[in-house]
Amino acid sequence: MKKRLSSLLYICVVCIICALFFTGCGRQDDHGLSKDNPTSIKVWHYYNGALAAAFDELVSAFNNTIGRENGIVVYSESMGTVTDLEKALWDSANEKVGAPDMPNIFQSYQDTATALDKVVSLVDLDEYITEEEKNTYVKLFLDSGSIGIEERWKLFPVAKSTEVLILNKTDWDKFAADTGASTQDLSTWEGLVGTAEKYYEWSDGRAFFGRDAFANYPIIASSQLGHEIFQVSDGSEKLDFDRETMRVIWDHFYVPYVKGYFRHVGQYRSDDVKLGEIIALVCSSSSAVYFPTEVTSADGASYAIEHLVLPLPNFDRTAPYAVQQGAGMAVTSATEAEEYASILFLKWFTEWQQNLKFSVNSGYMPVSVEAVKTENVDRYLAENPTSAIVADTLHVALDENSRYIMYTPPAVTGGTQARSILDSTMPALALKDRAAVEKGTPVDEFLTDEHFDEWYEDTLSQLLECCR
């Protein structure tokens, strides 16, 4: 009897061990993966040019190592711009005629992922990622991947960016030598506007500054000044488009623009620097790679320039804010093998060595705790030299990440349209009114309270219409 009980006990222990480590006794839990029959994973992203090349290089490295060992093949495809990618995703999600199947992994911002999750169902990453593994990522970046009212974690962080100020140092040095202008003045929006006025006078009417992704300015500045434009609390959405705050923002963009101190001509402000239209810009840290190395003037003459990367300006006597941007990666619900393979790839991609390599090659900030450590960044750069502007921008961006409040707007109804409204109404009006000034209209006609009120009421009504 005792022998029988001992045998039963042994069998129970074996079964418990099997339950813990295997999908069934005698078979290791491979999640359906097989080297003989590899699982194909499709990734859609919006990286282009050097960014796409950096991403594809790591995809190839994965396929030749971890992928080969586990029976996984990853295929990556650039879908063009963010807008192009979103259209392709919605066409696939809605099974539009001719549209390809949904990818296993796709790049997405919170608002798009929240909407798509209601149609195609995205994987809850908590099912695959342990708390110990979560601790290897920068918490702020990890938290930005929560979507929906329940704030489930469904966006995997892979790379992040923020905004920086970049100068044409060559022309700045000439201006500073003659006027005593200091880069310290560029740490605040008040100081930047004052410097831009001084440059306009010194240069006989040339603009000093421009910025990309204008919507980031009112969104970040408004939050910094105590009024978060888009708010979500307990599942309820609120719009806080404060008039007095918008007037401060207006006075530090529209007004200097109409006076000729700010300017935008080309598609991006780096184009404007190259043409000599401006000498300072705010852009994404991931766009720094496009900052020109020479200026070509209107008469065709060219000359080499150097750069200087500085932190994003903020309003005086306020806690510094900067945008935290860079889409995460969502995983589409699929077979166990496909889901597991997708997660395995994303984990590998964001291990700090790979993560830092992608960061250096792309201009994005890494998301791994180890990858953002200064000593690891410096060691990597020493062993893997890159362009000076990428290295400088990475250091400034990481410094901002450690000192600034890094802000990500919440996903709200109509968020994409609302951002488009903020992105266009003030710059478009400034461009139109500046053109009128250049044709002879007195600038004071545009600097009235009534003109601001007209812009404010029109923009507010558009926001209320799309966000209700």
Residue 271 sits in a domain of what CATH number? Answer: 3.40.190.10
* Residue 189 domain-assigned (yes or no): yes
For residues 130-134, average pLDDT = 94
Please give the mean pLDDT across all residues of the chain.
91
Per-residue model confidence (pLDDT) at position 4:
44
- pLDDT band of residue 151 (cuts 50, 70, 90) is confident
Specify whether 126 is located in the same domain as 260: no
Specify whether 313 is located in the same domain as 331: no
Give the DSSP H/E element, type plus range, for residue 20: helix 2-21
DSSP annotation of 328? E
* Residue 75 domain-assigned (yes or no): yes
pLDDT over 90 at 122, yes or no: yes
Specify whether 362 is located in the same domain as 318: no
Specify whether 314 is located in the same domain as 342: no
* Cβ atoms of 169 and 306 closer than 8 Å: yes
The number of distinct structural domains making up the chain is: 2
- pLDDT digits 0-9 by tens, 194-248: 999 999 999 999 999 999 999 999 999 999 999 999 998 877 889 999 999 999 9
**CA 25 to chain centroid:** 46
Specify whether 182 is located in the same domain as 294: yes
Q: Which domain range does residue 253 map to?
A: 163-323+406-467
Specify whether 145 is located in the same domain as 45: yes
pLDDT over 70 at 149, yes or no: no
Specify whether 206 is located in the same domain as 246: yes
Specify whether 239 is located in the same domain as 303: yes
Specify whether 437 is located in the same domain as 367: no
- pLDDT band of residue 29 (cuts 50, 70, 90) is low
67 Rama sector, left if φ>0, alpha if ψ -120 to 50, beta otherwise: alpha
**CA 278 to chain centroid:** 24
Per-residue model confidence (pLDDT) at position 50:
81
